[in-house]
Chain A
Amino acid sequence: MKNTYLQISQMITGALVAVLLAIHITVQQWFVVLGLLGIKVADPTTWGSMMERAHQGSWVGIYIALLAFGLFHALNGFRNILLEINLSALAIRILTGFIIAFGVIFLILGTYAPIALFSSYR
């Protein structure tokens, strides 16, 4: 059963990441195309433009959601690949432990940054 839930979660997080990442990449990468369509946007990588988003709660939410779903999806996908090597039950548990620890570190780091920048406002 555990593997069924993991596979369903892989699909659900994949679909969620597709939406969130489409938003993210459209804003970060498509400003020329958006410009041709008449939507004027400034270079999103400048400090000013970046901080404008960082001070909006909705962007903080989008980034933390993208972070959490993306990390789960990518690391679970990576684990799936590694499990194709026939590992012993013990090796699988150690591997899983490492992957979870790794994910938690990046989750903390990636949650801290947007919250710190958000609260640096005012």
Chain B
Amino acid sequence: MADKGPHQNYLGMWGWVWGGNYKLERYLYLLHRITGLGLLLFGLFHLTVTTIFRVQGEAIWSSTISFLDNPLFRVGEFLVVAAFSYHALNGLRLIIQELGFALGKPVPPIYPFTDAIRRKRAWTLVTLAAIMVLAVAFFIDFTVRGWG
């Protein structure tokens, strides 16, 4: 038998990828954080482009836009709109649920119980479906316009 010391359950950074006996919402939370940080990084880059490179006139703006018009940045742009779709819709779900809505009536936690978030899992799945639809629609849009 392996030694079951107090740190046996300590997963370290691996807990980010696989959190043990955590449920779906734990991974949605991780993805919310990753997409939030991704959007922050993009936002700073984007603000630099739309301010410093925009106020200098047509020539600078046009050459900046054509510099950004290549497959690498196009894929990046797709990731940005996909991250936006996820972060926005999952964020609205979080706002609704953290304020206590759409969780149903409280029930006593008698074993074996399911928590309110999981009893209302259907809402989460609807949100995820909507995110998928948005991501596919964006993908079609990008494909029609070309990736590079």
Task: Tell whether A78 pairs with B37 under 8 Å between CB atoms, given A14-B95, A50-B61, A117-B55.
Answer: yes
Size band of the interface chain B makes with A: 20 to 34
B144 part of interface (Cβ distance < 8 Å): yes
Pair A11/B36 contact, Cβ less than 8 Å? no
Q: Which residues of A contact B88 (CB under 8 A)?
A: 17-18, 21-22
Q: Which residues of B contact A50 (CB under 8 A)?
A: 54, 61
B40 part of interface (Cβ distance < 8 Å): yes
Pair B58/A11 contact, Cβ less than 8 Å? no
Q: Which residues of B contact A46 (CB under 8 A)?
A: 62, 65
Task: Tell whether A74 pairs with B36 under 8 Å between CB atoms, given A11-B98, A29-B81.
Answer: yes
B141 part of interface (Cβ distance < 8 Å): yes
Pair B50/A32 contact, Cβ less than 8 Å? no
Q: Who on chain A is nearest to B85 by CB?
A: A25
Closest chain A CB from B119 CB (angstroms): 23
Q: Which A residues from 24 to 77 make CB contacts under 8 A with B?
A: 25, 29-30, 32-33, 45-47, 50, 67, 70, 74-75, 77
Q: Which residues of B contact A45 (CB under 8 A)?
A: 65
Out of B33, B44, B54, B77, which one reaches A106, CB within 8 Å?
B44
The number of residues on chain A lying at the interface, defined by a beta carbon within 8 Å of a beta carbon of chain B, is: 30
Q: Who on chain A is nearest to B95 by CB?
A: A11
**Interface, chain B (partner A; CB < 8 A):** 33, 36-37, 39-40, 43-44, 47, 50-52, 54-55, 58, 61-62, 65, 77, 81, 84, 88, 91-92, 95, 98-99, 137-138, 140-141, 144-145
